[in-house]
Structure 1
Amino acid sequence: MSVATLVQPTGEMWEKIRVELNENQNTKEQDLATIKEWLRKQPHLPDEFDDRCLMSFLRGTSYSLEKCKRKLDMYFTMRTACPEFFTDRDITRPELDNVMAKVQGAPLPGLTPNGRRVTICRGLDKDIKMDVLNNVFKLALMIGDVRLMEELEGVGGDIYVLDAGVVSPTHLAQLSPTAISKFLVCVQEAYPVKLKEIHIVNTSPLIEKLINIIKPFLKEKIKNRIFIHSEISSLYEHIPQKMLPEEYGGSGASLVEINNAWKDKLATYTTYFKDQESLKAVEELRPGKPTNYDELFGIDGSFRQLSID
């Protein structure tokens, strides 16, 4: 049985999302033209970017032209700053194939009744080493780039379910704060993500301690969007049980099937990913001062405050 990857909103759901995203059908093409013209005038940024991606950025910033410009600038800046995330993005490479066999993190096919996209992230191997973290983040951003291309009508936001079942003290000791900082800046400041909820399942005192350490560095609104579940049944109060995979008591496709479908999809984008490697900021041409990456990523020892829409 083939498994869909990105079911799109239609009908009444899309009408509700359109209102939430502040989309005006009469002005969106003009907004797109404005952003394209702005991009052409930036000496340090690519002259052209796919219209579908630009529309995703406009929707993700609720059609605020200034927010859209900042996100796009950061998007191309991160592609220069983090080559470990944005080069060699070929899913058939052994190191990426290996990660997909040990970590699952693809979006579920459907949408919640209010148009949210749900992604469940979990590890399958208790012995997985944290030196694969950059490739895990690379895969997550590859999926993000596919969504920029394919979510043609946009979604009402994102919900992430983090399964901590295989996380151990050894894993936490091996985590790279720099890699995590870079990834968080990528996701929250360079991609048009509207993060609505984070749910943590199969938790433990260790995970809860980690969350409490991170919380002071998060803005208040995101703190209030983190939910810890001692029982999987309480997750159903936020996400319809029927759309969840069978591993979580739902009637949807299994995470294995969803992961395999995404692996096939990513393979079809191999040439696209290769071509995209040249689309990045050229700091030497940036008006004013070049970006200071140490400041951007908080490499002085402090976490950068996350910017949440």
Structure 2
Amino acid sequence: MDSPPPYNKLLKLKPDSFEVTRKELDLDKPGRMKEAVDILDAWVQKQNHFRKKDFNKYYLETTLIGSKGSIEKAKRVLDKMCTLRSLLPQFFGDFNCKKDFGNLFDIVTPIVLPTLTEEHYRICWMKIHDKQYEQAQFMDFYRYYIIAGDYMKTHDYTTGFRIVADFSESNVMDFVTKSNLVEMRQALTIYMEGYGMRVKGIHIITPSKLVDALVTLLKQILNPKIAGRLFIHKTVEDIYKYVPQDLLPVEYGGKEKPMQEILDDWLDVLSSEEHMSYMREINCAVTDESCRNTDTFNEHYAGMPGTFRSLSVD
């Protein structure tokens, strides 16, 4: 792949996104990325336990980008994502974002901002509203970002992510007490280890004195490296140091269109027949564990957070 994906209004790339991102990973020399993708593809074809082997080249390239250019790490990421689809089927499915997530968008407005930062970071922003939370809404939230994640795997090109959660008008303690720690840990495993999401910072906006309870919750499920990138901000203005104000929606003093309009754009695309058809295809990327070396499976998965040995898989 030598040119950016077709233009889409959801995820704008900079003119030099490919050049800068590849150079950071020492994959900018002519033919270097193609060679790496071809090696990764050849490896996929040899994996007897993979039920799907026809990953498109852009998917393989963004997997390499999320793996910091390491072919060996990209192999592990692909294997892990296919395995997680098999082990945690409740997170994946044939979902229509507009119709199947009930009242999820009453409690949260989850968006991915269109414009990259100067460092070529993508910003995931969520506004949590002052509502009573229901357990089912948490799982729908995780599913929504999985569907969005698969869209980004074939349309985006970024060096990393900043995640912003605005709790400034919400009940932090209600969120903490309603959260299922195991499900949250499993979802984060999917995002970070299955999609290879390179998290540059997690930013929480809230003036609440109860934020310590939320931080304690998150530190239980984040690895120490990512936990060290957790930042608490009392006001929106505090975050401008990390996220340029101009890139934010108008509600936050930025020049981007309102959050609801951005969300509506995402829902239109993610609920389109084109993307739903793609999701049905990519969700076939599971594993047949009868064809895998058992010792290798136990070494890499049985001891993961959440202890998959204790999971009941249909």
* Cα 1:259–1:161 shift into 2, 3 Å: same
1:190 maps onto 2:194 in alignment? yes
In 1, Cα distance between equivalents of 2:102 and 2:114:
21
- Deviation (angstroms), 1:78: 0.8
- Deviation (angstroms), 1:76: 0.5
In structure 2, which of residues 254, 271, 293 is the aligned counterpart of residue 250 of structure 1?
254
In structure 1, which of residues 98, 118, 127 is the aligned counterpart of residue 123 of structure 2?
118
Contact 2:176 2:217 (8 Å CA) reproduced: no
Unaligned runs of 5+ in 2: 1-7, 309-314
In structure 2, which of residues 239, 242, 259 is the aligned counterpart of residue 238 of structure 1?
242
In 2, Cα distance between equivalents of 1:34 and 1:177:
38
* Cα 1:117–1:267 shift into 2, 3 Å: same
- Deviation (angstroms), 1:87: 1.1
* Cα 1:100–1:22 shift into 2, 3 Å: farther
In structure 2, which of residues 104, 113, 117 is the aligned counterpart of residue 99 of structure 1?
104
In 2, Cα distance between equivalents of 1:102 and 1:172:
14
In 1, Cα distance between equivalents of 2:280 and 2:102:
17
In structure 2, which of residues 72, 79, 82 is the aligned counterpart of residue 73 of structure 1?
79
Aligned counterpart, 2:161? 158
In 1, Cα distance between equivalents of 2:179 and 2:307:
15
Contact 1:71 1:190 (8 Å CA) reproduced: yes
- Deviation (angstroms), 1:156: 1.8
* Cα 1:218–1:192 shift into 2, 3 Å: closer
* Cα 1:150–1:77 shift into 2, 3 Å: same
Contact 1:23 1:62 (8 Å CA) reproduced: no
Aligned counterpart, 2:63? 57
Percent identity over paired residues: 27
Unaligned runs of 5+ in 1: 301-309
* Cα 1:97–1:56 shift into 2, 3 Å: farther
Aligned counterpart, 2:205? 201
In 2, Cα distance between equivalents of 1:14 and 1:49:
20
1:267 maps onto 2:271 in alignment? yes
- Deviation (angstroms), 1:256: 0.5
SS of equivalent residue, structure 2 residue 113: strand
* Greater Cα shift, 230-239 or 253-262: 230-239
* Cα 1:174–1:128 shift into 2, 3 Å: closer
CA distances 1:47-85 after superposition (whole Å, capped 9, x unpaired): 221211111101111221100000000010111111111
CA distances 1:214-265 after superposition (whole Å, capped 9, x unpaired): 4366444323322111121111111111111112121211110110000001
In structure 1, which of residues 7, 13, 30 is the aligned counterpart of residue 12 of structure 2?
7
1:130 maps onto 2:138 in alignment? no
The number of equivalent residue pairs is 294
CA distances 1:269-307 after superposition (whole Å, capped 9, x unpaired): 11111222322111121123474666323349xxxxxxx
Aligned counterpart, 2:228? 224
* Greater Cα shift, 83-92 or 185-194: 83-92
In 2, Cα distance between equivalents of 1:219 and 1:80:
23
Aligned counterpart, 2:303? 295
* Cα 1:71–1:98 shift into 2, 3 Å: same
In 1, Cα distance between equivalents of 2:234 and 2:77:
36
Letter in 2 for 1:161: V
SS of equivalent residue, structure 1 residue 111: coil
Aligned counterpart, 2:4? none
SS of equivalent residue, structure 2 residue 271: helix
SS of equivalent residue, structure 2 residue 210: helix
In structure 2, which of residues 285, 288, 295 is the aligned counterpart of residue 279 of structure 1?
285
Letter in 2 for 1:192: G
Contact 1:40 1:47 (8 Å CA) reproduced: yes
Computed over aligned residues only, the root mean square deviation of the Cα atoms, in angstroms, reads 2.1
